[in-house]
Amino acid sequence: MPQLRVVVLWHQHQPFYKDLVTGQYRLPWTRLHALKDYYGMVKLLDEFPQVHQTFNLVPSLITQIQDYVSGDAQDPFLQVATKPAKDLTQQERRFALQYLFQANPVNVIGRYPRYRELWEKFHGSDALPERAEKYFQDQDLTDLQVLSQIGWFDEYFLEEKDIAELIRKGRNYTLEDQKFVITRERELLAQVLPVHAKAAKEGLIEISTSPFYHPISPLLCDTQAGAVSSPGLPLPQNRFRHPDDAREQLLRGLDLHKKVFGVRPKGVWPSEGSVSEETLSIACELGVKWMATDEGVLGRTLGIDFSRDGYGHLNSDLAHKLYTIYRYENGDTRMNMIFRDHTLSDLIGFVYSGMPPQDAANNLIHKIKQSAQPILSTGQDAMVPIILDGENAWEYYPHSGREFLRRFYDALQNDPGMEAVTVTEAIARHRNTSTLKTLVPGSWINANFNVWIGAPEDNKSWDYLYHARNFYAQAAPDATEKQRKLAYEEILIAEGSDWNWWYGPEHHSANDRDFDELYRKHLSNVYQALGATPPDYLLQPISGEAVRPSFTAQSAYIHPKITGDMVRYFEWMGAASYKADQRSSAMHGKRFLMDAIFAGIDEKFVYGRLDFTGKVPQEPFEVVVNLESWCNHAAKPRRELRLDASMKAGRIESWKITPEKNKFAAESTDSEDIPRVALSKNFEFRVPLTRLLAAPLDIEKIRGTQTSDLLAVRLRLRFSLWQNQLPVDALPVEGWMELELLAEEDLLAAGS
């Protein structure tokens, strides 16, 4: 019988946050993700011994974890979480408020009622620390300090008796509780690398590596590779060519792996899946047996497009080309290669978090089988590779995605036609290997390097790196060995991919400024280490002002006609609005189909509007609007409604409104009070407030009465767009859009 082998590779990586001169870590994400994700992702496989997987640990991540375990690492987030609240300076209190809420508001913050309560208090002051600090007493800050750490604890750690007891306490934490959490953090971090080593020794996992500081190696070899993969791409003024650095980065990664895990790794996930013929040659010389990248690189190499049908499946010929192992042979270079299924990987990264765990796991198993079926039906084995970040997706899943993974792994383990294997196991067992004689350079993002080079900010950063690298070459011969070693280490750090990830138009985070400053600090350290003064330009930011998703609260009643055929600007004036930020953050690949949403009330209705990115999709899709009404101090919504509208060829085929338990028809004999939906250039709806057991409140009439606690005081809305029964886009991405249920004069007063 032909065999379906599923190769899952989790890429574990964080930027190098440490300033080697000061010894300070600028950002806390290595520590927090090591607490939350890395341990449990491997430990979970103890429950599924037949599910073998590959974990890629970037060397600079390993060294940072070791630094925290040793107790040498310090970051300002940890310092402010450790210090007694009564001793915090005003600057530290504001820092705590600004940064200790940097977590998913639903799945991390919302999991702990007191943490959510503090988050709401902070956002009640427009999320501005200088406004909010007067509302936070010492006890509030202590609770924030403790819960902001617990929120990042792994699911397995949360089950430990002492931690579970602390969580049950809920609030009013003491200084002893605070000290306990910080002490336990270090103990838990110490388990991360050993659990990987143990699983690898038992054959449950294979551990692969990457170049040490995660550089885009083809661009280190020659920045001209950017124009090879994207002809006409604007390049930096100065051509950076240092294949010797690319070799050093990979050699150091291989050596550290051997030192930590006792064996030399067979495989490499190149940083961001970035490959070129020159980097394959370097890897082959260093003894690497396999490398992996994206299907887009294979497609460009073969001159084909791995386009899929409406259900995400390849035709038979394309499936045969993708779901196999390749042998690259060119001159003296020999390398086994696999190419990730982009669609399946992105389903885990961006889609399945919006589905019940069992439904998501069933869908993934079905799609894997359907993808491989054209090959299996010919009697040949199929190898389906799924490769993605092993940490960033899980904030968007309840309970860090563990229930989804359990159901997925259980199906893999118990299906006799499927086998979950490591990359090396797949290579050893696979027949009918294909051959490549050439390889087009590219990465896992659009089969080019445009995220890291080409934009003005990217090119400026490469020019700064070029000048620092040249200065090192000129000054190093006259420097001491200690100076040379420190300066070269800073060069290698600055060559990492993460700095340019945040430059240019593609990505942003709440820490853009920190990344910019840290990159320029690494370059400045090169000059300082060699006894020189850094150039003045390194004092100036590279990144421009970031564009953020915008939210505007409702400021007046609206009375729009529900037609969908055009945007009547004045009819929607005063509506609440939320505009998408179509730039990704730590993960790349999300589809953006929704541009903005609008919502508002009048005396009788709640109205909503969805503007699409581009034209209305012609393929079938569904719009789902979830609506909730909430009372003061309530633990759950007063009423929940769900509006489902099915579209095809740019028209509404059907729609319905479903209460929490009962279904009722969308029609009514009273034409003035019925719900309405419309689709043309945009999607619009209205729903009577009575359906939500809600009505605008007159503040003066209910102020001070017990009745006020029984009345709905706000509405919450969330829009999502579905295709093929999968949620592919949503606004807001996290949480809800909220509307205050106020009389018009009160709403106008609040807006002013």
Residue 585: what pLDDT?
55
CA distances from 120 to 112, 343, 735, 749 (A): 12, 37, 12, 22
| Full-model pTM | 0.82
Cα dihedral sign, 275-279-283-285 = positive
What count of other Cβ atoms lies within 10 Å of the Cβ of residue 255?
Answer: 15
- Residue position matching structure tokens 């090169």: 526
Domains observed in the chain:
30-44+66-193 (no CATH), 456-539 (1.20.1430.10), 550-751 (2.60.40)
Task: Give me 712's structure tokens.
Answer: 């709905």
Residue 515: what pLDDT?
87
Q: What angle do CA 701, 703, 706 make, to 5 degrees?
A: 105
- Residue position matching structure tokens 């159901």: 407
Query: CB under 8 Å to 317, separation ≥6 — which residues?
Result: none
Residues of the chain with pLDDT under 50: 546-548, 660-670, 699, 702-703, 705-708
Residue 561: what pLDDT?
87
CA distances from 492 to 99, 213, 252, 321, 631 (A): 29, 7, 11, 37, 56
Residue 351: what pLDDT?
92
Question: How far apart, in whole angstroms, are the C-alpha atoms of residue 284 and residue 702?
Answer: 76
Question: How far apart, in whole angstroms, are the C-alpha atoms of residue 729 and residue 719?
Answer: 9
Q: How far apart are the first and last CA of the chain?
A: 72
What's the Rg (C-alpha) of the chain? 27
- Residue of 34, 23, 35, 152 whose CA lies nearest to 76: 23
- Ramachandran angles phi, psi of 607, nearest 5°: -115, 150
